[in-house]
Structure 1
């Protein structure tokens, strides 16, 4: 009779974590909008006569004012993305653990994949989405997975393939050179990241909401069981 109440106490609070994570995703999306605006400014200004910032063989020319400001924009965006990543991973760990506590089922993915799933080649193509989907389905069996989860993940992959997603391969100076020569691929990747951030915020809210609902039900059942035991 006491077991349901004990189980509910093992659940981790998720509402605040979900709100912070959704907010951080939207802030990251805004940072990439600003980044895209600066890339358009670079394209409109055109490459200086002195050539790209990285001129090869370890030679870098002094940056002009617009290029310096783009470095600042990308640095701020990187800090926002780092904060977003920390909050998202903390939220993902919580929803995974809560889903296990609520359902009594062993998660499909081991806990280590909450972190490694983003960086291990091949696995990074579907493990993070799989963890979110598994948490939702075990929390709310029979309910259809929110469309936002698939939209978020599809756009995330497009942004990564573009090379200037949240984790990008090129140096800032190389991206400046790309903005001068061919800005459209950069803007497409930026748009994908912004879309992924917005869809991700909706996905986080959907998964959080269903867990809040189930946690309330579990706590209510636990209190009822304890109360019934005392009356007996």
Structure 2
């Protein structure tokens, strides 16, 4: 069965997941910057400062989206390779086919359950330690909280933002923008904490599974070719001794009642 190295992909995928997690935390904490800009706009009655706050939040989101896309691509490739390796491991009994290692992330509704089952298969059949299965539960629970919480917070913020005055003109209307950013921080903390926990748990799982698989793959590969040894040097095999030949009796012509030569 073909096998696939996962060490380099593990480093790249873990780095991308870490970068995406960090970028999301920065976007979640943006209200700390937005409230300062909104207060400055209210003091100066300057709409351009409010527009600058909106543009700044967009700029904060771009690195996160790029890191998330990169991390998602690397994670799908890693999951497929790690699952294919199980087919070459004697004793491994995965519950899902390698196709689900890809489709499980992409098919709607299935992506709420299948990736957790695939990762549990990888952990169980690679590390062979059931006591570590709780890591899968921690990762998947925090990941679901992050997905659902982020969408809920984004939708609620959009509804609150639509109710703001598009072109504020006085102190009261500018103050609504200040309150918008002040109230936006607390709800964002829930998906931010969930994202942090999910990112850390996933990196730990990926590293442990990959280390176990790489160790097993390295022990299964024979050392070939060996160290070169020149003729006449120590270690060069001695000439093989000639095989002993059993003595035979001379052949004699057959005679009545006799034998053919022994």
2:29 aligns with one of 14, 21, 37? 37
**Gap regions ≥5 residues in structure 1:** 1-6, 50-60, 224-232
**TM-superposed deviation, 1:194:** 2.0
Pair 1:86 & 2:70 matched: no
Mapped to 2, the partners of 1:198 and 1:140 lie a distance apart of 18
Residues 222 and 207 from structure 1, CA distance in 2 versus in 1: closer, same or farther, beyond 3 angstroms? Answer: farther
Change (3 A) 1:179 1:128: farther
Cα distance in 1 for residues equivalent to 2:208 and 2:134: 10
In the TM superposition, what is the alpha-carbon distance from 1:221 to its structure 2 partner? 9.8
- Any idea what the Cα deviations from partners look like across 1:89-114, whole Å, max 9, x if unmatched? 11101100011211365642233322
Does structure 1 residue 193 correspond to structure 2 residue 185?
no
Matched residues, number: 201
Q: Following TM superposition, by how much is the alpha carbon of 1:206 offset from its aligned partner in structure 2, in angstroms?
A: 0.8
Corresponding residue to 1:125 among 108, 112, 120: 112
Where structure 2 has 5 or more consecutive residues not aligned to the other structure, the ranges are 43-47, 162-179, 226-262
Q: For the residues of structure 1 that align with 2:184 and 2:140, how far apart are their CA atoms?
A: 26
Q: Distance in 1 between matches of 2:144 and 2:114?
A: 12
TM-score, normalization: structure 2?
A: 0.65
Higher helix share: 1
1:30, distance to aligned residue in structure 2 (A):
1.0
Query: 2:149–2:191: 8 Å Cα contact kept in structure 1?
Result: yes
- CA RMSD, 1 decimal: 3.3
Partner of 2:20: 28
Q: 2:16 touches 2:70 (CA, 8 Å); kept in 1?
A: yes
Distance in 2 separating the partners of 1:175 and 1:192:
23
Aligned to 2:63: 76
